[in-house]
Amino acid sequence: MHTNQLQLARALERPTRQAMLYREPTAQDFWNNNANLITKAWKEWENSEIDSSVFKLDSSLIDKNLREAVQQAWQNPSKEHLVKALLNEVSPDVFQFQFFNPDRLAVLRGYLEQVWNAQIPIRPPYGIVLNRRGAMLDSRSEGYLAAPSFQAFYNEMLNIYMRPISRLLFPEITGYDTQTFGFSIYYDPSTDASIRPHTDASSVTLNINLNLPGEEFTGSEVDFYHPYTGDIKSLTFTPGAAMLHRGNIAHAAKPITSGERTNFVLWLYGERGRLPLQGTPRLEIDPKQRWTNPNNPNDGYAPF
């Protein structure tokens, strides 16, 4: 009897939580040995079990004002000021803005619920969150979410939106933004409730909230530390809102005290993890350089 790839992937014996957390060789072997099978299983799952007319991942999920401003900047980079007008600097080198359309977030969240219930092995981010809603999103990460429509949407977020906006705000990261990384993260009071102060191994980090309107939580503010004074700015996410900041800005997630919070976290960095030196001066570059995408191949390097 013929057994399809989806059935085979679902039947795999997964590494234990502890083995993944401590990156034991058996866990690494599991992801390496089954990479091809799992990738094929995600494609088969999407073709056979996802209604693409209901769970359509496209630009309609993006906030209308942001989408239209970005479209104009791609067509004519001199109009990038329309994008910058939507970005609110709330702490030094920390910007807040609306990324997703809250009225359309149910489509993305519904798709992700199907992902969590797919029973295909998916690798959680090491040392950050080890529960059913923590997942690797980028193809350089073993056990990533390899569903084709999701990957197309994920790369659109990075290439059409995140990279040019990051270059607009932090032009010195140009050339240190050719590689990508991403994961989803989930907080609730009973499992993974907080993250201690840290910096990211990125040139720029984009943190996007996926909570639906009415899906309330308390706590879970993100603290950003002023790079010179140490003063703390506490920010709260609202549905579909994003925070964009340099990776070297120290930040922490306070404990969540009720409800749940789900986010995408996306990184840009240079080949093999290269980052701009601390204090690198801001470059004056032509807007046309910002609204382009590099041709560098995937270097296969994942920060974790």
**pLDDT tens digits for range 215-250:** 999 898 999 998 888 889 999 999 999 999 999 999
pTM score: 0.94
Would you list the domain boundaries of the chain?
Answer: 5-290
Q: How confident is the model at residue 289 (pLDDT cuts 50, 70, 90)?
A: very high
Q: How confident is the model at residue 52 (pLDDT cuts 50, 70, 90)?
A: confident
| CATH, domain 5-290, list 1.10.287.3510, 2.60.120.620, 3.80.30.20, 3.30.460.10 | 2.60.120.620
| pLDDT score for 133 | 74
Residue 36's CB is within 10 A of a number of other CB atoms, namely 10
The first and second tokens of residue 164, run together, are 């040019």
How far is Cα 203 from Cα 275, in angstroms, rounded to an integer?
A: 6
Query: How confident is the model over 59-104, as pLDDT tens digits?
Result: 999 999 999 999 999 999 999 999 999 999 999 999 999 999 999 9
Residue 74's CB is within 10 A of a number of other CB atoms, namely 15
- Encode burial over 207-219: b for 16+ CB neighbours within 10 A, e otherwise: bbbbbbeeeebeb
